Amino acid sequence: MTDDDAVSADLAGRVRRLLGDNDPATTSAKQFLGARFDAGLAWVHFPVGHGGLGLPQTAQSVVDDALDAAGAPGPARSRNGIGLGMAAPTIAALGTEDQRTRFLRPLYTGEHIYCQLFSEPGAGSDLAALATRAVRDGDDWVVNGQKVWTSGAHNAQRAILVARTDPDVPKHAGLTYFIVDMSDPGIDIRPLRQITGEAEFNEVFLTDVRVPDANRIGEIGNGWRVATTTLNNERLAIGSGAPREGGMIGKVAALWRQRPDIRDPAVHDRLMQLWVDAEVTRLTGERLRQQLAAGQPGPEGSAMKLAFARQAQEISGFELELVGEEGLRYDDWTLRRPESVDFTGREPGYRYLRAKGNSIEGGTSEILRNVVAERVLGLPAEHRVDTKIPWKELRG
């Protein structure tokens, strides 16, 4: 028996015991997910005692497939994508033992939905230029500032926050990373209506919000490194993970099969080009996840997110061409406050409009091209004049 076979057999036994002690048919989702976390089957590559078993990430599929087949509830990925895909791996990698204990289990069970307090009106693509300030006051930090484009803040109990703690050093060096309780006094959440008519995004104002130093992830002034860990996980999460014919291409392929009236050879050729493109990206993402099984995602995830954004926009545009005037119908323009982000939900008109945001959220495509060029391909960096100047002088 190989080592991989032994790991798979051990995990299969752990899954059987979990199901035997917690029948999915009679156990609440919260209770089942808590038991799964305690058994180390939430993220098998996470540390022992914090939802994992210290195994390679590739072993997770053994657990997921078995539990899916048993009809067991899974974590709320659509509602808590930021928590599960971004906050959790950051806390696991860089948090203290106490922080892992306090934050990871309620995140996994869905008791704590997370949002991301990163971007600001004057610091989007250039995140390191952010101006939200955190000033030390005893065992707390007092935070003041404004964040924007905050997905799901209206549903969140916790947030990952990057704030400036030292304005006297260059912009990347003066940042610190925190976990914030979104119910704390001084947090004002306001909706931002999007082109789709809904408001999954928000602007968030923080006025004298007190954050315990115990909620600081990483060292003071090391927030850029922590934030980069989060962003690398975000781009990999957004840009990969769909099954074959998942996501936008699945919608168009299903439409093609259901509607003989829209078929002709030219359209068929375009559909096949898009299908192959999506499949290449899917397989590349799978290979990337396997390569990263032993460590944290790196800048390569930026290429996956780039491909995802481009393909979503091309495919959704192609879908509108296929359905013609049907694509002009839109079921609801009223202001919605959705519980989750659904890139492929609703009708073709919604998908076409929603895809426009894919090249902005999670890092603009322009910035990600710089990341790929400089950090993956090793091309010369763009000339930057502000990386060694104290941040306060840049504001002046």
Domain boundaries, the chain: 3-109, 114-221, 226-376
- Residue 317 near residue 394 (C-beta atoms within 8 A): no
Q: Is 319 a catalytic residue?
A: no
Q: Do β-strands 216-217 and 201-212 pair in parallel, antiparallel, or remain unpaired?
A: unpaired
What is the model's pLDDT at position 238?
66
Report yes or no: 156 and 180 within 8 Å, Cβ to Cβ: no
117-163: per-residue pLDDT in tens? 999 998 888 899 999 999 999 999 999 999 999 999 999 999 999 99
Amino acid at site 248: M
Q: What is the amino acid identity at position 247? A: G
Q: What is the pLDDT of residues 179-237, one digit of tens each?
A: 999 999 999 999 999 888 889 999 999 999 999 999 999 999 999 999 999 988 776 66
Give the span between the Cα atoms of 139 and 148, in whole angstroms.
27
CATH number for the domain whose boundaries are 226-376: 1.20.140.10
Instruction: Say if domain 3-109 classifies as CATH 1.10.3260.10.
Output: no
380: CB partners within 8 A, 6+ apart: 374
Q: Is the confidence at residue 86, as pLDDT, over 70?
A: yes
Mean pLDDT taken over the chain = 90
Tell me the per-residue pLDDT of 355-372, one tens digit each, with 9 for 90 and over.
998 898 877 888 889 888
Catalytic residue among 120, 200, 203, 234: 234
| Max CA pair span of the chain | 70
Where does residue 373 rank: exposed (0-12), middle (13-18), buried (19+ CB within 10 A)? middle
Q: Extract the tokens encoding 214.
A: 């115990």
Q: Pull the structure tokens for residue 134.
A: 């955190």
Tell me the sheet residues that pair with 204.
147, 189
Instruction: Let me know if domain 114-221 sits in CATH 2.40.110.10.
Output: yes
pLDDT above 80: residue 8 = yes
What pLDDT shows up at residue 241?
Answer: 60
* Arithmetic mean of pLDDT, 274-303: 76
The pTM of the full predicted model, rounded to 2 decimals, is 0.89
CA-to-CA separations, 181 to 153, 223, 227, in angstroms, rounded: 11, 18, 18
